[in-house]
Amino acid sequence: MVNQDSLSMQDCGGNQKQIKDNKNQEKLQVHFNEGNGEKIGDAGISDNKFSTTLNLTNQHLDESTLEHFNEIFSKSLEMKEVAKTKNLAIEKEFADLKERLSTSSDYLLRIKKNIENIKFSYQRSLMDMNKSLTMDERYTNQSKQDMKASMEEIRKKIENLQHKVKSQREKQEDVSKDYKSAFEKVINTLQEIESGSYSSQKIE
């Protein structure tokens, strides 16, 4: 028959083990809190601090807990490398898009300046033509035909430039769509990394 005192001692021993486990968990939490604010590459805690914490808690934790802890640490390092690689690719893509946007913007400014110059030249040509013509010449058929031909030539040049501007604007819109798509891709990647659902297999 089991002695009542023996049962009490067993209960006491079980309670002491539970208290010890709780203290170990508290120590582990303290080590985590102390590690906050340090740097682990780009992830937030230094590798040395993390390894030291593992060594200090190794003697107090059971094997399954340590194994789980090591898996978390390994996964963190893997995610850090994935994020670093993806970040480099995204930075390069952003640099390319920025260069394309800058080039397109410069081209549009040149087109706009050319149109303004043609308008100014057109107005000045009309003024010079009016000054050079006498009252009689201004109303002769030949003068009217010459003026009409000059105006038609200038009109065609303006239409041609307007067509180029429209075409370039469409290209600019395509570049903007590419830029927006790349930005949304970055946001989705960061959200997946934060939620832990990101995988290195997604790197293109």
Give the span between the Cα atoms of 192 and 52, in whole angstroms.
Answer: 29
Q: What pTM was estimated for this model as a whole?
A: 0.28
Tokens of 175: 């570049």
Q: Convert the pLDDT of each residue in 52-111 to its tens digit.
A: 555 555 555 567 777 787 888 888 888 888 888 888 888 888 787 777 777 777 777 787
Give the span between the Cα atoms of 129 and 201, in whole angstroms.
Answer: 72
pLDDT category at 48 given cuts 50, 70, 90 is low
Q: Convert the pLDDT of each residue in 120-147 to its tens digit.
A: 777 777 777 666 665 555 556 666 777 7
pLDDT category at 44 given cuts 50, 70, 90 is very low
Give the span between the Cα atoms of 131 and 124, in whole angstroms.
Answer: 11
- Residue 22 pLDDT > 50: yes
Give the span between the Cα atoms of 75 and 90, in whole angstroms.
Answer: 22
- Residue 42 pLDDT > 70: no
| Domain boundaries along the sequence of the chain | 4-61, 81-202
- Residue 38 pLDDT > 50: no
Buried b (16+ CB within 10 A) or exposed e, 14-50: eeeeeeeeeebeeebeebeeebeeeebeebebeeebb
Give the span between the Cα atoms of 155 and 163, in whole angstroms.
Answer: 12
CA atoms lying within 13 Å on the CB side of residue 107: 16
Burial (0-12, 13-18, 19+ Cβ within 10 Å), 146:
middle
- Residue 200 pLDDT > 70: no
Give the span between the Cα atoms of 54 and 51, in whole angstroms.
Answer: 5
What local confidence, expressed as pLDDT, does residue 57 receive? 53
